[in-house]
Chains A and B, each alone.
Chain A
Amino acid sequence: MKKAIVSVIGTDKKGIIARVSGLLYELGINVEDISQTIMQQYFTMIMLVDLSESKKDFCAVCEELETLGKEIGVDIRMQSEQIFTAMHRI
Chain B
Amino acid sequence: MIQINEVIETNKMVSAEHLDVRTVTMGISLLDCIADDVDTLCERIHDKIISKAKNLVPVCEQIAAEIGIPIVNKRISVTPVSLLTARTGGAVKVAETLDRCADEIGVDFVGGYSALVQKGMTEYEREFLLTIPEALTKTRKVCSSVNVGSTKAGINMDAVALMGKVIKKTAEMTAESDSIGCAKLVVFANAVDDNPFMAGAFHGVGEADCVINVGVSGPGVVETALKQVKGADLTVVAETVKKIAYKITRVGQLVAQEASRRLNANFGIIDLSLAPTPVKGDSVARILEEIGVDTVGGYGTTACLALLNDAVKKGGIMASSHVGGLSGAFIPVSEDIGMIESAAKGILKLEKLEAMTAICSVGLDMIAIPGDTTSDVISAMIADECAIGVINNKTTAVRVIPVCGKKEGDVARFGGLLGEAPIIPVNNTSPARFIARGGRIPAPVWANKN
Contact = CB atoms under 8 A, between A and B. Distances in A.
A85 B251 contact: no
B322 interface: no
B123 interface: no
A87 B250 contact: yes
A62 interface: yes
A48 interface: yes
A13 to B, nearest CB: 19
B36 interface: no
A62 B10 contact: no
A81 B2 contact: yes
Contacts, number: 67
Contacts of A84: 2, 6-7, 10
B179 interface: no
B232 interface: no
A18 interface: no
Given A33-B1, A35-B1, A82 B67 contact: yes
Nearest to A88: B6
B1, B69, B247, B258 interface centre (most CB from chain A within 10 Å)? B1
A44 interface: yes
Contact of A37 (B1, B4, B62): B4
B3 interface: yes
A46 B10 CA distance: 13
A79 interface: yes
B253 A86 contact: yes
B7, B247, B250 interface centre (most CB from chain A within 10 Å)? B7
A80 interface: yes
B65 interface: yes
Given A33-B1, A86-B250, A86-B251, A7 B7 contact: yes
Interface string B56-95: 0000001001111100000000000000000000000000
Interface in A42-65: 44-46, 48, 58-59, 62
Contact of B8 (A44, A80, A82, A85): A44
A46 to B, nearest CB: 5
A6 to B, nearest CB: 10
B48 to A, nearest CB: 30
Interface in A1-21: 1, 5, 7, 9
A8 B324 CA distance: 38
Interface residues of A, number: 26
B16 to A, nearest CB: 14
B7 A46 contact: yes
A35 B67 contact: no
A87 B2 CA distance: 10
B217 to A, nearest CB: 15
B2 A48 contact: yes
Contacts of B7: 5, 7, 46, 84
B243 to A, nearest CB: 11
A39 B5 CA distance: 10
Nearest to B63: A80
Given A33-B1, A58-B65, A77 B250 contact: no
Contact of B2 (A58, A62, A77, A88): A88
Contacts of A80: 66-68
A46 B4 contact: yes
Interface string B1-40: 1111011111100000000000000000000000000000
Contacts of B66: 1, 58-59, 79-80
A7 B11 contact: yes
Contacts of A81: 2
Contact of A48 (B1, B65, B247): B1
B247 A87 contact: yes
The 4 A-B residue pairs with the shortest CB-CB distance, nearest first, are A79-B68, A83-B67, A86-B250, A84-B2
Interface of A: 1, 5, 7, 9, 33, 35, 37, 39, 44-46, 48, 58-59, 62, 77, 79-88
Given A5-B7, A84-B7, 16 more contacts: A1-B66, A35-B4, A44-B8, A59-B62, A59-B66, A62-B65, A79-B66, A80-B67, A82-B67, A82-B254, A83-B68, A85-B2, A87-B10, A87-B251, A88-B3, A88-B10
10 contacts: A1-B66, A5-B2, A46-B4, A59-B66, A81-B2, A82-B254, A83-B67, A85-B2, A87-B250, A88-B3
